[in-house]
Chain A
Amino acid sequence: MQHYSALSLLKHGISSHKRWQSAWRKATPKKAYEAIIIGGGGHGLATAYYLAKNHGITNVAVLERGWIGGGNTGRNTTVIRSNYFYPESVALYDLALRLYENLSTELNYNVMLSQRGMLIGAHTPMQMEICQRIANAMQLNGVDGELMSAEEAAKRVPLYNSNENARYKLMGGIWQGRAGIARHDAVAWGYARAASDLGVDIIEGCEVTDILSKNGQVAGVETNLGEIRSDTIGIAAAGATPGLTGMLGVDLPIHTYALQAFVSEPVKPCLDTVLLALGTGTYVSQSDKGELVFGGGLDRVPTHGQKGNLPVQEEVISGLLEMFPAFGQLKLLRQWGGVVDVVPDSSPIIGPIGPEGLFINCGWGTGGFKAIPAGGWLLAHLLATGEHHDISRPFDLKRFAEGRLIDEAAGSGIAH
């Protein structure tokens, strides 16, 4: 693998950037692998990387129907945070955040992690009480979270509407300083490059049409590129997961919805943190290029189409303009939608499913990007050992029959 550094950039600059190698090998499928991962988004690629790195299993294929990172990994608003309520959730999302903090160095690929902090803003005394409760929970769970006053919040987000007639006055909220944003494509490409370098085959344009099993043991997959055999298979396919497990007659507690995101034209730096406003449900940050990246709640119509509907667009944009009247002058550059897999308790499903040797990592809903390193780490652990990691155990599918839900929608007011 070509090592990336300031020196290599200079060297290639002198030769007009004509000698860069491609970041990962284009692979054609072999007949059999030690493990197959279905889904070449962030979670699937991270799984392959940690399988190779943590467990020494390198005879691995990642099968991607489209192109690497072309699904939700390339369609999100890049926010990374671990400000959740329940201990199980904080352990999970903070594992991801800790891995993100060292990811650029580990992968030798700049994922442009910017820990600029995140404010969950409240505008009523009741919301401030909820914020206090979550901040306390975060501190008890050992992650950085604190209650922020109205004065401090106004300093953090100076353009926020503080007019006398403002509908959603900022009363303060929860502050997590280690939260931030990262370059989403770089996360997919960095994991792909590092996994490929360790020997993993990344196969794009490979659609799984059937999952094969024999005597209660998973045996391989049927694809448009032929049959590929393996007795260990992981699925990391977000909204496509129910269709895949459906091939085995296994239902999941998942509904698929479109989640929209928006990008404005680039402007000079005007917002140096991530803001999620509880009153409007709109969240926003400014990218390194200067664009305002923002989004809000789900479209409430189950769908597999990667586009958003108009009522939610109107709600999100009007929420943004209510909070930042100055942004009304900006033009919208792009708008898009991704298909997210939403679970009744807004927590992911990680664990075995169906025949022996088959495992899933799905149900991240609207929050999958921030969890990529943890999702990969934990699914790799399952594929390599057949057993849960302590952090993934509470997120097993069994929790539904046991009535042991981890309800983050109720706990931390996260809508997904």
Chain B
Amino acid sequence: MQAFTCPFCGHRDETEFHFVVEAGKPRPEPSEEVSDEKWAAYLHMGKAPKGEAREIWLHITCGLYFLMTRDTVTRDILSSECLLEASE
């Protein structure tokens, strides 16, 4: 069993967390100028990185969305940050 770190709750069981999306995909704006390709890229496309990955995760039990950096091969957790702090 692996523990992930919620910035608010601390170490919790992996079953309490849900992967949301790879980080660094801002919603394209303004919507009337967004092509179908750009919208599809925003909705669906990603890199599925091997090694270090920056991802948005949800701690289901407390409802916090946060930024987790981890290694997708070794499964090491490198950091967990609140989105507000990460965006500063």
Binding site for B on A (CB under 8 A): 239-240, 242-243, 246, 251-256, 300-305, 309-311, 341, 344, 400-403
> Which 10 A-B pairs rank lowest in CB-CB distance, beginning with the nearest?
A253-B44, A251-B45, A242-B48, A401-B40, A400-B40, A304-B50, A401-B36, A256-B48, A401-B37, A310-B1
B residues near A311, Cβ cutoff 8 Å = 1, 13-15
Residue from B15, B37, B43, B55 in contact with A302 in the complex, judged by beta carbons closer than 8 Å: B55
Known: A251-B47, A253-B44. A304 touches B36 (CB 8 A): no
Interface flag for B87 (CB, 8 Å): no
Whether, in the assembled complex, B31 has its beta carbon less than 8 Å from a beta carbon of chain A, the answer is: no
Which of B15, B37, B73 has a CB less than 8 Å from the CB of A304?
Answer: B73
B18 x A300 contact (CB < 8 A): yes
Q: How large is the interface on B (under 10, 10 to 19, 20 to 34, 35 or more residues)?
A: 20 to 34
Q: Are B73 and A402 in contact (CB under 8 A)?
A: no
Docked complex Cα distance between A203 and B38 (Å): 38
Name B19's closest neighbour in chain A (CB-CB): A302
For residue B2, CB closer than 8 A to chain A, the reply is yes
CB distance from B40 to the nearest CB of A (A): 4
Which B residues touch A252, using CB under 8 A?
45-46, 48
| Whole-angstrom CA separation of A311 from B3 in the bound complex | 12
* A342 nearest CB neighbor, chain B only: B48
Measured in the bound complex, the distance between the Cα atoms of B28 and A376 in whole Å is 37
Complex CA–CA separation, A251 to B40 (angstroms) = 11
New A-B pairs, 8, CB < 8 Å, besides A302-B53, A344-B44: A242-B46, A252-B45, A252-B46, A253-B46, A303-B72, A311-B13, A341-B48, A400-B45
Are A302 and B48 neighbours in the complex by a CB distance under 8 Å?
yes
Closest to B35 in A: A401
Q: Are B37 and A242 in contact (CB under 8 A)?
A: no
Docked Cα-Cα span, A253 to B48, in Å, equals 9
Could you pull out 22 A-B pairs where Cβ atoms are within 8 angstroms? A239-B48, A243-B48, A251-B45, A251-B46, A253-B46, A255-B46, A256-B48, A300-B18, A301-B2, A301-B75, A302-B19, A302-B48, A305-B72, A305-B74, A305-B75, A309-B2, A341-B48, A344-B44, A400-B40, A400-B45, A401-B40, A403-B36
Given the known inter-chain contacts A305-B73, A309-B14, A401-B40, please indicate yes or no for A243 contacting B46, CB distance below 8 A: no
Tell whether B83 is near chain A: CB-to-CB under 8 Å. no
CB-based contact A253/B45 at 8 Å: yes
Return the chain A residue nearest B50 by Cβ: A304
Which B residues are CB-close (under 8 A) to A302? 19, 48, 53, 55, 72
